[in-house]
Chain A
Amino acid sequence: MTPWALAWRLFRRELQGGQLRLITAALTLAVLSVTSLGLVSDRLKQGLMAQATTFLAADRVLNSPQAVAPEWLAQAEAEGLVSAQVLSFQSMIFVGEQLQLVSVKAVTAEYPLKGQIEPLTTLDSALPSLGTVWFDGRLSHLLTDFNEVELGEADLAVSGAFARLPDGGFNVFASAPTVLMRMEDVAQTGVVQPGSRLTWRYQFTGDPGAIQRFERWLLPQLTSSQRWLDVKQQDSPLSRAIERAEQFMLLATLLGIALACGAVGVAARRYCQRHLDVVAMFKTLGASHRQIRRVFMLHLALTTGLGIAAGLILGSAGAGLIGQLLPSELPLAAGDPWRAMALGIATGLIAAIGFTLYPLLRLLKVPPLRVLRRDLDPMAWGLWLNGLLSLLALSLLAWLYSGSWTMTWVLIAGAGALALLLGAVGFALLSWGRQLGIRTGSALQLALAGLRRRAGENVLQLVGFTVALMLLLTVLALRQDLLEDWQRQLPVGTPDHFLVNISPEQREPMTQFLAERSVAATELYPMIRGRLSAINGDEVRRAVTKEAEGEPGADGPRGIGRELNLTYRTTLPPNNPITAGQWFASEATDEVSVESQVALRLGIGLGDRLSFTIDGQAFSVRVTSLREVNWQTMQPNFFMIFPPAVLERFYPTYIASFYHPQDQPELVAQLIRQFPTVSVLDVGAMIHQLRDVVDQVSLALGWVLAVVLLASSLLLLAQTEAGMASRRQELAIMRTIGASGRLLRQAVSWEFALLGALSGLLAVIVAELLLFLIKTQLFDLVVQPHWIWWPTIPLLGAGLIGLLGRWACRRLLANRCAALLLR
């Protein structure tokens, strides 16, 4: 029989009923959290990306004002990427005798690489055939009687209409109606001449690795006027949702890991405490340091191995389950399972080493003399050293998992604040405890005396309980806030149809039409197309090109050179908070309110004079306010809003959006019949797609919450077990001298309940602080105190932890008589 066999035998026995099981469970949970959430979030991210890339019509897009060198496309092809080209320009088309400004999109045969063109009429091919065009639904009023358009020198047949192009963007009012044609037909139009304002979009799709390689090759060669876009840079409601969901999952997983690590630490400490006598006895019987180290290292290795293996298996199963639960129209992309697995294994190892190293070192240091003097401790319980080791391990895990210093910093700051707070409370408890001895008049008195007497031990208990409650609160609150934030953006009844091109004469009848049918619609916004020509007297294009084109993600300068949709009104529109200046008075005559982001891009400030040209008439106005606009709301939004006196002299058309009630299926048909010149745009599909994404993310958040809940429970359980261990001897003595089981159970319940109440209060304080940090540093969410927590969480903590204590005490007293306890 070798010492290995002895170690294995001890391991099997310990696993049957002891702290090793708790450590294994906690490690399993940590690995499970990382693996499952890694797999889910990886797959979800890719699923969301796949969804989102349909809004780009590709994985990546290169925007360029001129055609790029053919070698670039050759390089993409060499990397195995598929590419499509889109040439966009503005032009006038003749439809019969009418002239219309349109945005022309000329595409190569591969377009779109992702997503689909949503048809308005039956389309018999994937793209317009050569010599034909498809038109945007907004032009339907012009094209009902014509089947040909004149574009430059070419006559092109109209062969279909589409509702939406996948890369059409979300702002349906931002540009002129689109005409889709084949790239091959561009030459015959003669419209594209040297000096024409063109936008080339090179769309790419392919294997993520190949995209990354191409990206690395391409980015250093881009000029300041070229932009490389992925879905996150696209101005879509998805990008923020994806980013926040990613961050939340990262953060929640980290908190889950922290909880599981806490449980590992508590259980490891208890395990080592229980084995002090065993190690002392081993040493007395002649075991060498090496032999003892081997026994306990083997235990640690086996526990870690078992925890990691179970975590990997359960994590994969959990991720598979999530995949099954997802809506069928949102298939998950296959993530990279190896990365998640590797992270899971690393997490298990770091958690095991970081959180068990100190207790284990302490265990190995126990002197053999302990067999005669049981009060001998191997070394003073260096809380700071243990804390430092744990914090180091946690920081390493946080950085490894998130790759974000900000997130790591937030976590460490939270842990530091917690340590300080608990240290202070512990110190107060200790000072209080020195004055008192045992009083046994009632269960409550007994509990109070116990609480004070074991102040040092109770500080550790407090840490465990508080951490479990605090992290649970944080994740719960954050999930709720994120869901509410998303719901606010797409509430039930979000407008899903837009009405464009309503003439002033149709305004009253349209309002009446909608009111008669009780349709919830936004107000009708007057819209006049105009051009921003100068800022403080400087021609806009010259003024903005140099300054802003180098800015990554700055879409404005190029877009702003075109015509803008301008509106006028006396009141501030909803969801448009003023960020600087003041909203103008209704009688103002030369003012304008500017959207804050466009103001930032163009360098516009309060007091600047902006010049506009509408229908050949120039005028200038002073900027008196900047507004924040939530572009993700499905309602008309504008960069520039004027007082009525400025724009009333121009002929407007009106736009509005409304929610199509399901019980009125004929509504749109009736509307088109009654207002044939008004364009109706259905964006329901887009909203549906957005909702699906939110649902998908919500589901993942639910899983995260479940994992965090489990981790919290495990930590609470580990802490309760550890807490009972320190009370065991005392309970036995009280039982021996005749205390009734009822009195002892009540006293223990009270003691745990008081600890629970205090933990609840501390958890609320630290959670509020942590949420403040997370919301301001990571999520850009509004910080609101959770007043309801302050009375309820301490009460809940008292109830929950009191019950856990009572259960543990009942188990202890029921299973073993006092004599056994005393041994």
Chain B
Amino acid sequence: MISPPNDLAIHVSDLSRHVPALEGHLSILNGVDLDVKRGESLAITGPSGAGKSTLLALLAGLDRADQGAIWLAGEPLHQLDEEQRASLRGRRVGFVFQSFMLVDSLTALENVMLPLELAGGKAARSQAEALLHRVGLSQRLTHFPNQLSGGEQQRVAIARAFVSQPEILFADEPTGNLDHHNSALVEDLLFELNREHGTTLVLVTHDLTLAQRCQRQVRMVAGQLEAS
């Protein structure tokens, strides 16, 4: 298989994903093709059940496709085993989730340090402190997730996503659990850091305002992508 051009952060061709169902199997994704350039911001929108989150999971290597190829940061994700995919994620990918996914028993600072520690990196503390300062949480370093508001938790999650300076950031409904004010705060932060770090941003959202802040939008309908 020929590797994609270097300017592509993500290259997807003929991607399909099925799940077992009562009548044989159910197609979640059906022959999806997608290219995302390095540094580009892409929003994937679409109705519930269209396959947005499944596509995100496949792009990030969290799940395996039944068919098709995915090149992530120049590496053939579809050919890697679970350990190699984890390693690739650790080196090149960041995540922000709707439900924040912070570790309850770690403080805000420790949560942000986590990716660096898992990668065995040095100076995790100073880098994490700097990012928490950047997202406006320098007073909250030693607070545990249950001592933070939803908006603050998502800002911690954003700091954690950027601390390892990923090439690609995946965000799944990053503002889905937040009020208007906090949504705006988190969106600003996401795009500012995206620009500052030159990160490729792929986000899944129902929020059209958020989607419109991205350089490109694609719409997912019944397991297939439509340009919007």
Among B109-117, B189-197, B206-214, B219-227, the stretch in contact with A:
B109-117
Q: Is B70 an interface residue (CB 8 A)?
A: no
Task: Check B119 against A286 for contact (C-beta < 8 Å).
Answer: yes
Query: Closest approach, in angstroms, between the C-beta of A4 and any C-beta of chain B?
Result: 10
| Docked complex Cα distance between A1 and B121 (Å) | 7
Encode contact with B along A249-288: 1 for CB under 8 Å, 0 otherwise: 0000000000000000000000000000110011111111
Among A164-172, A193-201, A364-372, A494-502, the stretch in contact with B:
A364-372
B90-111: which residues lie under 8 A (CB-CB) from chain A?
90-91, 93, 95, 97, 99, 101, 103, 105-106, 110
Task: Check B115 against A286 for contact (C-beta < 8 Å).
Answer: yes
| Docked complex Cα distance between A215 and B31 (Å) | 83
Task: Check B117 against A286 for contact (C-beta < 8 Å).
Answer: no
CB neighbours (8 Å) of B117 from chain A are: 1-3, 5-6
Q: Please classify how large the interface on chain A is, using the bins under 10, 10 to 19, 20 to 34, 35 or more.
A: 20 to 34
| Docked complex Cα distance between A373 and B28 (Å) | 14
CB neighbours (8 Å) of A284 from chain B are: 60, 62, 89, 95, 101
CB neighbours (8 Å) of A288 from chain B are: 83, 86-87
CB neighbours (8 Å) of B106 from chain A are: 9-10, 13
Q: Is B183 an interface residue (CB 8 A)?
A: no
Q: Is B53 an interface residue (CB 8 A)?
A: yes
Task: Check B105 against A14 for contact (C-beta < 8 Å).
Answer: yes
Given contacts A1-B113, A1-B124, A3-B118, contact A286 B105 (CB under 8 A): no
| Docked complex Cα distance between A243 and B83 (Å) | 58
Task: Check A371 against B97 for contact (C-beta < 8 Å).
Answer: yes
| Docked complex Cα distance between A282 and B111 (Å) | 11
Task: Check A372 against B87 for contact (C-beta < 8 Å).
Answer: no
Q: Is B120 an interface residue (CB 8 A)?
A: yes
Q: Is B48 an interface residue (CB 8 A)?
A: no
Q: Is B146 an interface residue (CB 8 A)?
A: yes
Q: Is A18 an interface residue (CB 8 A)?
A: yes
Task: Check A372 against B57 for contact (C-beta < 8 Å).
Answer: yes
Encode contact with A along B18-52: 1 for CB under 8 Å, 0 otherwise: 00000000000000000000000000000000000
Q: Is A339 an interface residue (CB 8 A)?
A: no
Task: Check A6 against B114 for contact (C-beta < 8 Å).
Answer: yes
CB neighbours (8 Å) of A542 from chain B are: none
Q: Is B56 an interface residue (CB 8 A)?
A: yes
Which of A285, A289, A374 lies in contact with B114, CB distance below 8 A? Answer: A285
Query: Closest approach, in angstroms, between the C-beta of A450 and any C-beta of chain B?
Result: 25
A1-56: which residues lie under 8 A (CB-CB) from chain B?
1-3, 5-6, 9-10, 13-14, 18
Q: Is B75 an interface residue (CB 8 A)?
A: no
Q: Is A503 an interface residue (CB 8 A)?
A: no
Query: Closest approach, in angstroms, between the C-beta of A218 and any C-beta of chain B?
Result: 63
Which of A282, A285, A369, A823 lies in contact with B57, CB distance below 8 A? Answer: A369
Task: Check A18 against B105 for contact (C-beta < 8 Å).
Answer: yes
Task: Check B103 against A285 for contact (C-beta < 8 Å).
Answer: no
Q: Please classify how large the interface on chain B is, using the bins under 10, 10 to 19, 20 to 34, 35 or more.
A: 35 or more
Task: Check A368 against B118 for contact (C-beta < 8 Å).
Answer: no
| Docked complex Cα distance between A287 and B115 (Å) | 8
Determine which residue in B99, B106, B117 has the highest number of CB atoms from chain A within 10 A of its CB, and name it. Answer: B117
CB neighbours (8 Å) of A13 from chain B are: 105-106
Query: Closest approach, in angstroms, between the C-beta of A18 and any C-beta of chain B?
Result: 7
Query: Closest approach, in angstroms, between the C-beta of A288 and any C-beta of chain B?
Result: 6
Q: Is A291 an interface residue (CB 8 A)?
A: yes
Q: Is A385 an interface residue (CB 8 A)?
A: no
Task: Check A368 against B62 for contact (C-beta < 8 Å).
Answer: yes
Query: Closest approach, in angstroms, between the C-beta of B135 and any C-beta of chain A?
Result: 18
CB neighbours (8 Å) of A372 from chain B are: 53, 56-57, 62, 97, 172
| Docked complex Cα distance between A104 and B88 (Å) | 94
Q: Is A820 an interface residue (CB 8 A)?
A: yes
| Docked complex Cα distance between A14 and B56 (Å) | 32
A339-368: which residues lie under 8 A (CB-CB) from chain B?
367-368
CB neighbours (8 Å) of B146 from chain A are: 820, 823
Closest B-chain residue to A820, C-beta based? Answer: B146
| Docked complex Cα distance between A282 and B124 (Å) | 16
CB neighbours (8 Å) of B101 from chain A are: 277, 281, 284, 371
CB neighbours (8 Å) of A823 from chain B are: 99, 146
Closest A-chain residue to B111, C-beta based? Answer: A281
Encode contact with A along B114-152: 1 for CB under 8 Å, 0 otherwise: 111111100011000000000000000000001000000
CB neighbours (8 Å) of B87 from chain A are: 286, 288
Query: Closest approach, in angstroms, between the C-beta of A401 and any C-beta of chain B?
Result: 35
Query: Closest approach, in angstroms, between the C-beta of A761 and any C-beta of chain B?
Result: 38
Query: Closest approach, in angstroms, between the C-beta of A35 and any C-beta of chain B?
Result: 31
Task: Check B63 against A287 for contact (C-beta < 8 Å).
Answer: no
| Docked complex Cα distance between A6 and B63 (Å) | 26
Given contacts A278-B103, A281-B101, A285-B89, contact A9 B83 (CB under 8 A): no
| Docked complex Cα distance between A661 and B93 (Å) | 91
Query: Closest approach, in angstroms, between the C-beta of A20 and any C-beta of chain B?
Result: 10
CB neighbours (8 Å) of A283 from chain B are: 86
CB neighbours (8 Å) of A371 from chain B are: 62, 95, 97, 101
CB neighbours (8 Å) of B60 from chain A are: 284
Query: Closest approach, in angstroms, between the C-beta of A230 and any C-beta of chain B?
Result: 57
CB neighbours (8 Å) of A291 from chain B are: 118
| Docked complex Cα distance between A200 and B57 (Å) | 89
CB neighbours (8 Å) of B103 from chain A are: 10, 278, 281
Closest B-chain residue to A15, C-beta based? Answer: B105
| Docked complex Cα distance between A607 and B172 (Å) | 94
Query: Closest approach, in angstroms, between the C-beta of A756 and any C-beta of chain B?
Result: 30
CB neighbours (8 Å) of B95 from chain A are: 284-285, 371
CB neighbours (8 Å) of B90 from chain A are: 285-287
Query: Closest approach, in angstroms, between the C-beta of A10 and any C-beta of chain B?
Result: 6
Task: Check B105 against A369 for contact (C-beta < 8 Å).
Answer: no
Encode contact with B along A119-156: 1 for CB under 8 Å, 0 otherwise: 00000000000000000000000000000000000000
Given contacts A372-B57, A372-B172, A820-B146, contact A10 B119 (CB under 8 A): no
Task: Check A286 against B89 for contact (C-beta < 8 Å).
Answer: yes
Determine which residue in B86, B91, B97 has the highest number of CB atoms from chain A within 10 A of its CB, and name it. Answer: B86
CB neighbours (8 Å) of A278 from chain B are: 103
CB neighbours (8 Å) of A368 from chain B are: 62, 86, 89
Closest B-chain residue to A286, C-beta based? Answer: B90
CB neighbours (8 Å) of B82 from chain A are: 289
Closest A-chain residue to B83, C-beta based? Answer: A288
CB neighbours (8 Å) of B97 from chain A are: 371-372
| Docked complex Cα distance between A800 and B101 (Å) | 37
| Docked complex Cα distance between A3 and B82 (Å) | 20
CB neighbours (8 Å) of A820 from chain B are: 146
Task: Check B86 against A287 for contact (C-beta < 8 Å).
Answer: yes
Determine which residue in A10, A14, A285, A287 has the highest number of CB atoms from chain B within 10 A of its CB, and name it. Answer: A285
| Docked complex Cα distance between A775 and B106 (Å) | 53
| Docked complex Cα distance between A277 and B99 (Å) | 11
Encode contact with B along A300-337: 1 for CB under 8 Å, 0 otherwise: 00000000000000000000000000000000000000
Task: Check B118 against A6 for contact (C-beta < 8 Å).
Answer: yes
Given contacts A283-B86, A284-B62, A372-B53, contact A9 B110 (CB under 8 A): yes
| Docked complex Cα distance between A68 and B99 (Å) | 87
Given contacts A1-B113, A286-B89, A372-B53, contact A10 B118 (CB under 8 A): no
CB neighbours (8 Å) of A2 from chain B are: 117, 120
| Docked complex Cα distance between A288 and B99 (Å) | 23
Q: Which A residues are within 8 Å of any B CB, using their own CB?
A: 1-3, 5-6, 9-10, 13-14, 18, 277-278, 281-289, 291, 367-369, 371-374, 820, 823
Q: Give 9 closest A-B pairs by Cβ, nearest first.
A: A286-B90, A13-B105, A286-B89, A369-B62, A287-B118, A368-B62, A285-B115, A369-B63, A1-B117
- 26 A–B pairs (Cβ distance < 8 Å), ordered by A: A1-B116, A1-B125, A2-B120, A6-B117, A6-B118, A9-B106, A10-B106, A14-B105, A277-B101, A282-B118, A284-B89, A285-B115, A286-B87, A286-B89, A286-B93, A286-B115, A286-B119, A287-B90, A288-B83, A368-B86, A369-B57, A371-B95, A372-B56, A372-B62, A372-B97, A373-B53
Q: Beyond the given A284-B89, A285-B90, A288-B87, could you list 4 further A-B residue pairs with CB under 8 A, ordered by the A residue number?
A: A285-B89, A371-B95, A372-B53, A372-B57
